[in-house]
Each structure stands twice: as C-alpha cells, then as structure tokens.
Amino acid sequence: MPEMTFTVRWPDSTVQDCYSPSLVVHDHLVVGAEYSVEEFTARCRTALTEASDRVRARYGMACTSAMAQLADIQERAAGLSGSVRVLALEPPLPQEKS
C-alpha cells in the first residue's frame, strides 16, 4: 500500500507535512486549493479514516499513524480561523493512460 505526505500551510503561516498510509488523500484534497479550517479538518477526517480502514482491511488492524495524524490536525485546528492551503501531495497520482 503506497504511503504519501501532504504539505499544508495553516492560517498562522506554519507549514506542516502530514502523513497518510494511502493515496486516498488525493480524493479529498487538491494542490493549490484553500479550505476553511473546518472544511480542511473534515476532509482530513474522512481521508485519514478511509486510509486507516484500508490498512485494517489489508492487515487486520487500524493504522495508528493515520489516527495520530488526524488527532494532530484536529489539535492544530482548534481555535484557528481562516484557510488552510494545500501546498503539495506526494507522490502525485500516476498519470492515467488513455
């Protein structure tokens, strides 16, 4: 199962590299997009829960790293307002063949 990182800039200008055990984050975040803190947190909750569920389906246990990343995002988001910008999703998705 491919792992990935997604890099974001928070409203306080801090930049954070986040981890996902699955490329599923590509389904929920777009490079260059800005999301309200609330929407970003909700999208991450969905993506990282789905990623953890994929790990559970494959290995029989949830991904504690995905859940720890989600907890960190939720903690950082508490009390912040403004928007979160997605700076990078690595690795990019493979190009679709036509």
| pLDDT score recorded for residue 98 | 45
- Which alpha helices (DSSP H) does 5-91 contain, by range? 37-59, 64-77
Q: Is the pLDDT of residue 82 over 80?
A: yes
- Number of domains into which the chain is organized: 1
Q: How far apart are CA 77 and CA 2, in angstroms?
A: 27
Q: Is residue 13 part of a domain?
A: yes
pLDDT band at 1; cut points 50, 70, 90: low
Which tokens belong to 90? Answer: 């690595």
Decide if 15 is inside a domain. Answer: yes
Where does the pLDDT of residue 19 fall: very low under 50, low under 70, confident under 90, or very high at 90 and above?
very high
Distance between CA atoms of 98 and 84, rounded to whole angstroms?
Answer: 34
Mean pLDDT of the chain: 93
Omega before 92 cis (within 30°)?
no
**Kind of pairing, strands 4-9 and 83-90?**
antiparallel
Domain that holds residue 40: 4-90
Mean pLDDT score, 32-52: 97
